[in-house]
Chains A and B, each alone.
Chain A
Amino acid sequence: MSSRGDTTLWILQRASAAVLALCVAVHLFTIVYAVRGGLSAAEILGRTRGNHAWFVFYAVFVLAVAVHAPIGLRAVAAEWLGWRGRSRDVCAFMFSALLAWMGMRAILAVFA
């Protein structure tokens, strides 16, 4: 990949990290807060079903993960396995698509 392409990925990873820092904090805080009185599936679904704010929040969370993780793995592949070039980038992209698909599927399941 060109140095401009590398730079774009670097910026995307740093930007997604900033989004994740916020999302993870909100996510953990919500977990701790929500389980205080015990936790049930019905309670979770009661909170998430039809809740557009939660839907948008977790959609952003999932997309940030789908951007962040594969770029990091791409660097790990290069430095630890010596795996560089197009095949690695294609695999990283496919992993990104997999994360996005699994994440969005889970969100839709508790939203719809």
Chain B
Amino acid sequence: MLRVSVWRGGAEGSLESYEVPRHPSQTVLDVVTHIQHHLDPSLAYRYACRVGMCGSCAMTVNGVPRWTCRTHVDKVAKDGALEVRPLRNLPVIRDLVTDMRVFFDKWERAKGHFEGAASRADDFARVPPETQDRKAVDAGIECIGCGVCYAACDVVSWNPDYLGPAALNRAWTLIRDVRDEKGLERLRAVAGDAGCHACHTHMSCTERCPKHISPTAAIAGLKREVLKRAMDGSL
């Protein structure tokens, strides 16, 4: 049996204990699902794909933000016990469900959407895989938007305006996209105390990212790019 404490309630609430049977290759999401199916149907949590693609099942497991569908109980349980809480740095709606609006609003603030100049009448853009710009974002474009980095980031907890690792990583992948036309505007959006310059390079995001992306490297890239543009006066 596994002893599981789960956060129940909203911003105010408490941990509730459950006993869940152990199974081989059991994931933390399996555990939470078992609780809802067999012990307490009122438990709220969020998931969709169960295979590490959708980025909706992230929770805090024994104090560490993780994607629960790909986190094995064997790896994270301490003395047969699990503590599952909602992600840090985001408002709790209920139980394990956080309100991720602020997280995605910040992607918008970082101009995290593609804006090209080509129309459908134009030919396909060709982006050779071996070019520097493309290689710089090979890892970064794999982001699934799970919010683990955002929950892991201390700067977010100190500065609620800080755009956070995921939004800055997204901005970086677009700035390196040769088809995108809004690079300078995006750099202006991510420069400053609420943007890339607030990063302390603690690397918690890089440590915790389940896709092994380094938002820290993306943020360092943004700092370099901003510096270049500030020096030539175009920022």
Chain A positions near chain B (C-beta within 8 angstroms): 1-8, 10-11, 75, 78-80
- Confirm or deny: B142 has a beta carbon within 8 angstroms of a beta carbon on chain A: no
A2, A10, A79, A80: the one contacting B197 at CB < 8 Å is A10
Which of B193, B197, B198, B235 has most chain A Cβ within 10 Å? B193
Task: Quote the shortest CB–CB distance from A8 to chain B (angstroms).
Answer: 7
Contact of A79 among B158, B188, B189, B195 (CB under 8 A): B158
> In angstroms, how far is the closest chain B Cβ from the Cβ of A58?
29
**B159 and A2 within 8 A (CB):** no
B192 within 8 Å of A (CB atoms): yes
Q: Other CB < 8 Å A-B pairs besides A6-B192, A75-B198, A79-B155, 13 of them?
A: A2-B192, A3-B188, A3-B192, A4-B230, A6-B191, A6-B195, A6-B197, A7-B191, A7-B235, A11-B227, A78-B159, A79-B159, A80-B158
Number of interface residues of B (CB under 8 A): 17
Q: Which residues of B contact A (CB under 8 A)?
A: 155, 158-159, 188-189, 191-195, 197-198, 223, 226-227, 230, 235
The CB with the most chain B CB atoms within 10 A, among A1, A2, A4, A80, is that of A4
Contact (Cβ within 8 A) A7 B159: no
Q: Which of B155, B158, B189, B230 contacts A7 (CB 8 A)?
A: B230
Contact B191 A3, beta carbon cutoff 8 Å: yes
Bound complex: CA A8 to CA B194 (Å): 14
A6 contacts across to B, CB distance below 8 A = 191-193, 195, 197
In the complex, chain B residues whose CB is within 8 Å of the CB of A80: 158
The 4 lowest CB-CB distance pairs between A and B, nearest first, are: A3-B192, A6-B192, A79-B158, A3-B191
Q: Which of B188, B189, B191, B223 has most A Cβ within 10 Å?
A: B191
Nearest CB in chain A: distance from B97 CB, A: 28
20 contacts between A and B (CB under 8 A): A1-B193, A2-B192, A3-B189, A3-B191, A3-B195, A4-B188, A4-B191, A4-B230, A4-B235, A5-B192, A6-B192, A6-B195, A6-B197, A7-B191, A7-B226, A7-B230, A8-B230, A10-B197, A78-B193, A79-B159
